[in-house]
Amino acid sequence: MTMTGLLPSGAPYLPPTDPLCVLHADDSLLLVDKPAGLLSVPGKADGLEDCLEARVKAAFPDALLLHRLDMDTSGVMVFARSRLAQRHLHKQFEGRVLEKSYLAMVWGTPGAERGRIDAPLICDWPRRPLQKICAETGKPSVTDWELAGQGPHGARLALTPLTGRSHQIRVHLLSIGHPILGDRFYAPKDALAAAPRLMLHAHRLRLRHPEGGAWVEYEAPAPF
| CATH fit for domain 22-98, picks 3.30.2350.10, 3.50.50.100, 3.40.50.970, 3.90.1300.10 | 3.30.2350.10
pLDDT of residue 3: 58
pLDDT of residue 1: 40
**Cα–Cα distance, 223 to 5 (Å, whole number):** 26
Which sequence positions are flagged as catalytic?
70
The stretches in the chain having pLDDT less than 50 are: 1-2
pTM of the entire predicted model: 0.95
Type of residue found at 50: D
Secondary structure (3-state) at 186: coil
**Cα–Cα distance, 78 to 23 (Å, whole number):** 10
Residues in the chain: 224
For the chain, the first-to-last Cα distance in angstroms comes to: 33
Q: Do domains 22-98 and 107-198 have the same CATH topology?
A: yes
Nearest to 181 by CA among 195, 171, 168, 167: 195
**Cα–Cα distance, 85 to 80 (Å, whole number):** 6
Type of residue found at 161: P
> What CATH number was assigned to the domain covering residues 107-198?
3.30.2350.10
Angle among Cα 138, 102, 150 to the nearest 5 degrees reads 110
pLDDT of residue 4: 76
Q: Where are the domains of the chain?
A: 22-98, 107-198
Secondary structure (3-state) at 118: strand
pLDDT of residue 9: 85
